[in-house]
Every structure is written in C-alpha cells, then in structure tokens.
Amino acid sequence: MTLFVAILLLLAGLSEAIGRLLPLVARLSGVSHTRAIWLVVAGAFVDAAVFALWPLSAWTLAELVLPTSTTGQGVLAWTPGLVAPLLLAAILAFPLLGPFLHLLLMVGVGAGLATALVPVAGIGWWEAAGCVAVAGAGLGIAVEGVRRLVARLNRTRAPESFP
Amino acid sequence: MIEFALLLLLFGIGPVLLAEALLSRYELLAYTAGWRTPDTALPPRVPYARGADADRPPAAYLVYLDGIGKRRFQDTRDGGQLVKSLLGRAPELRVLGQVQPYSPLAHPLANRPVWIWLRRRMGLVLFLHNVMQIFVAADRRYRPLYNRAVGSQIATQLRLAGYQRDSGIPVVLLSYSGGAQVATGAVEELWSELRCPLWLITLGGFYNGANDISHAQHLDRLTAAGDWIERTGMWIFPQRWPLFRWSGWNRAVRAGKITVHWLDPATHVGPRSYISPQAKLPDGRSHLDRTADTVIALIRDRVGATAEPESPPA
C-alpha cells in the first residue's frame, strides 16, 4: 500500500466517521466538543482500518471457499482510483436519503473491487462480487457491533465516585 | 442543451445541495449535545401571542407552523395573511406564529449573518435549507431528537404566552405544507410537557406519517385535488401507504382520527393557493376567506366543547 493510498483511506475513514457522528452523539447527550472530535478521530481510524481490510478479506475469502487458479498477480489491494469514491462516504449523513445513497456508493466501490479481484484470484466476476459483498457485509456488521457497544457503554456508564 | 443542464445540476446545484444536506444536521447536533441552548426570548415588538386578551382564558391556543418560507419570528407574507384573517374572524383565540419549525434551536435564518449574505445573492438556498430540515425531521435516525427539540420550543412559547399545564385549554396546531411534519412530531413532547387537549389541522400537509399522534384528539386534513405537493408526500413516504399498517399515520386512520376536507380547486402555492386573497370561488369568497372560515369552523366545532377551563384534560 502506498502512502498516497493510506492517506486516501484515512480521509475516507474520516468521511465515514463524520457521516455517522450525529446518531452516535445523539446517544451521548451532553458530550463536549473535545470528546466529539475525539470520537470522530477514533472513528476515522477504525473505519479506515475496516476499508483497508476489505480487499484483503474478499481475496482471502475467495482463496478459502472457491477453487481459484494461480495467477501470480499478488494480493488484491486498493488503488487510488478504487478508493477515491469512498471520500464521499459522509453522504451517509444526508437526511432521509443518506443510507440509500451510502449503499449505492458501497455497491459501486464493491463492483470496482470485484472487477479487480477477478484477475488476482482467477475466478468469475459474479463469484468475485459475492466474495466482496460477503467480506464487506461481515466487516460492516463487525464494526457496527463495536460502534453500538461503545455507544451502550457510554450511555449506561454510572458517574464515577471517589472515596 | 440537456447536457448543459445536467452539468449545471451536477456541478452547480449538486455540491450546494450536498453541503447543505450535511450542514443541515449541525443545528440538531448542537441542540442534542447541549452545545447551544434554544432561543426563547422574542425580539422587541414581537408579542408571544396575539388575539384574545391574556387576562382571561381564551377558547383555545392556536399555534401556526408555517411552510418552508419561514425564516424569521414574524409571519411570512402568505402565512401572515392567513393568521391575520383568523385573528379577525375568531377573536376568542390566542394565536402564536413565532415558532420556528425548521430550527431546533429556535434561531431564525434571518438572524444568522451568513444567511443574510446568502439571501441577497441566492435566496433559493433559504428554501433549500428549510426543505432539508423537513428531511432531517422525517429521517428515522434524527426524528426523535428533532421532534423533542421543536415540541419543546412550542411548549416554551405556549408557556410564555400564558398557557398553564393541566389547564385543559385546547391547543390547536395549524400547519401549512412542511410544517405538518413538525406538527405531527411535536404531539408527544407537547403532551408530555403540557398535558393539553391537542388538535391538528394540516393545510396541504407534507409529512412522512411516521410520527405517533395518538395523544392528539383529531387531525383535520385540508387538501385539494390540485395539490401535487401534498400528494407527493403521500407517494414518497411508505408510512403513508396503507401497506404499512402500524405506522403512526395508519394507526390514526384506523382509530378514526383523520378527517379529510376538500378545498378544491385550490392549489398548494401560486395565485390559486389555499391562502390566495385574489382567487375567487363561485360564492364570491376568496380562497383565503374559505380556508380561514373552514379552520375556524373546525376549531369551534371540535374544540368548543372542551374549551371551558374547568373541563378536565382528555
């Protein structure tokens, strides 16, 4: 992964985190500016890591469950062109239509990843698309679980007492 | 030519729309997180209520929630005509028109420096902002917060106008266009804060039907066959479709709480709108006169029986 791609992934993670900020902060009524900013920064790193793992997970999944041919083209990795649309992930915050537009964005990026996976794994496009979709859904569910857990822990935390 | 229009849409209006959509939630975030507190005081010379004197209980409090043109505490031109007409015909009502349906912080757009600048250059953006606020209010993720914010704003303005919790005096929310989304959303918070008998009247209402209005006594829907904006709301929001039986709207329909009143041949906006003083009916009345008469007749019919202060709240 080049430095440029890493920066793009971090910005994409930041975009995704901003898109998810309000529903999270809404559960943390009374949160300070500083804490909100830290939540976004932490979320940016988590989401960037999830995005970074997406092609690797899809490729690993293809290797594990499908009969693949050896192509010798190395591992599936992000390229600037593939990752750039994720900079629009903040569209998730768009009121009412946000989740639908976000889904369209992810389908578009996933289709790009599937196309890139075909020559790497030596499988058909639809099989590649299935691997990308399952990997993306799995990562998405995992990070959503973590997100809800963090929100729950913050919401129910009792005030600290000092003896 | 079509390509040019598409390019203009994509690169001109598109980014503005996107930026506005992303910024539109900031105010709700600031409210929810407690970074800013809602404005409660009104500017000098803007009364908390007009109409019936404050020294004795009015027949009802009428809160007017305007359409997307609302950007200051004072009434918009069209909304002002309706309010004026209602005040002239029903002096027994106390009327509030200062509620900001599109601002969780009750902060009018006209008082914000950036928006003053924008208004002089791109007035359309002001309407766009308020449309986005309707979208925020209708969004499943933000709706409870938005409803609480504006419901609380209405309750505060009612208290400042003299309303007392548990007084039993009816409150009528008269909403025009997108104001209906806010009116239906405010029901729970108003009930929680004031325990008031509550009636809703929507005029060309644009709302998603997700809000629970079980604590409202009734909803009178004023509409017309030529009102395509209201009709669009019924098409685009699944909770308004009969298929979604457990939506707030369909539960209210089954409970017999919705009555439709047709104001044909009125339109939503324009020279033949519901509140046009120019468009005339065969009986010689203007559309504005007919709408005001209908609203007052509904209030007197439905609210009159419970308007006595000694009547217990429902």
Higher pLDDT among residues A150 and B209, named by residue: B209
Q: Flag whether B310 is in a domain.
A: no
Which of A23, A91, A95 has its CB closest to that of B24? A95
Q: Which has the closest alpha carbon to B239: B205, B202, B206, B208?
A: B208
Which of B18, B21, B28 has its CB closest to that of A22? B28
**Token output for B11:** 């690169």
**Token output for A21:** 């900020």
Q: Flag whether B308 is in a domain.
A: no
Interface test with B, best of A24, A96, A144 (most B CBs within 10 A): A96
Distances from the Cα of A37 to the Cαs of A32, A42, B209, in angstroms? 9, 9, 35
Q: Which amino acid is at A20?
A: R
Q: Which has the closest alpha carbon to B295: B226, B186, B220?
A: B220
Chain B residues touching residue A18 (CB < 8 angstroms): 22
Which of B34, B35, B135 has its CB closest to that of A95? B135
Q: Flag whether B183 is in a domain.
A: yes
**B29 contacts: CB under 8 Å, gap ≥ 6:** A21, A22, A25, A26, B35
pLDDT score recorded for residue B249:
96
pLDDT score recorded for residue A121:
83
Boundaries of domain holding B125: 2-303
At residue B309, does pLDDT exceed 60? no
Give the integer Cα–Cα distance in Å for A123 and A66: 8
- How many angstroms away from the CA of A92 is the closest CA of chain B? 9
Chain B nearest-CA residue for A15: B22
Q: What is the tally of structural domains in chain B? A: 1
Query: Chain B within 8 Å of A93 (Cβ-Cβ)?
Result: yes
pLDDT digits (tens, 9 = 90+) for B212-243: 999 999 999 999 999 999 999 999 999 999 99
Chain A residues touching residue B135 (CB < 8 angstroms): 95-97
Mean pLDDT, chain B, integer: 88
- For the whole model, what pTM was predicted? 0.84
Q: Flag whether B309 is in a domain.
A: no
| B12 DSSP 8-state letter | I
Chain A residues touching residue B21 (CB < 8 angstroms): 93-95, 98
Low-confidence ranges of chain A (pLDDT < 70): 22-29, 68-74, 154-163
**B59 contacts: CB under 8 Å, gap ≥ 6:** B52, B90, B92, B93, B170, B299, B300, B303, B304, B307
Which of B18, B33, B138 has its CB closest to that of A30? B33
Mean pLDDT of B55-69: 91
Interface of A with B in 17-56 (CB under 8 A): 18, 21-23, 25-26, 28-31, 33, 36
ipTM of the complex: 0.75
CATH number of the domain encompassing residue B103? 3.40.50.1820
pLDDT digits (tens, 9 = 90+) for B258-292: 999 999 999 999 999 999 999 999 999 999 999 99
Give the integer Cα–Cα distance in Å for B4 and B1: 5
Contact in structure between B83 and B62 (CB atoms under 8 Å):
no
Q: Flag whether B154 is in a domain.
A: yes
Give the integer Cα–Cα distance in Å for B105 and A111: 42
Q: Flag whether B314 is in a domain.
A: no
Chain A residues touching residue B149 (CB < 8 angstroms): none
Contact in structure between B206 and B233 (CB atoms under 8 Å):
yes
Query: Hey, are the CB atoms on A25 and B33 less than 8 Å from each other?
Result: yes
**Token output for B192:** 């929680």
